Amino acid sequence: MEVLVTYDVCTDTREGERRLRRVAKICEGHGQRVQKSVFECVLNAAQVETLKHRLRKVVDMEQDSLRFYRLREPRERYLEVIGRKPTFDLREPIVV
């Protein structure tokens, strides 16, 4: 399934800045950044739960917020991108 993960981390303190970096790093390991605090991920149900669990351990529930949106498929029918496009398609094989 395709999931859009968004977050807003309060960065008024040094600890908040650290949380922001940690959240971004976790999300980078699961998907592709499409905007500063927005990631597109292609995950199965277990991977989504793992991602949520890892992020819950980092965020401050009183100050920060996470949102998970399941994208409708076929994505091409419901998505319009204006401007710079992502560097690669997560649904295609990636050769390293």
Chain centroid to Cα 57, Å, comes to 15
Tokens for 71, please give them: 């994208």
Secondary structure of residue 50 in the 3-state scheme:
helix
Give, for all 96 residues of the chain, the pLDDT tens digit. 899 999 999 999 999 999 999 999 999 999 999 999 999 999 999 999 999 999 999 999 999 999 999 987 776 677 777 777 666 566 666 556
**Domain locations along the chain:** 2-78
Q: Does domain 2-78 have CATH number 3.40.50.2300?
A: no
- Closest C-alpha among 85, 80, 95, 75 to residue 1: 75
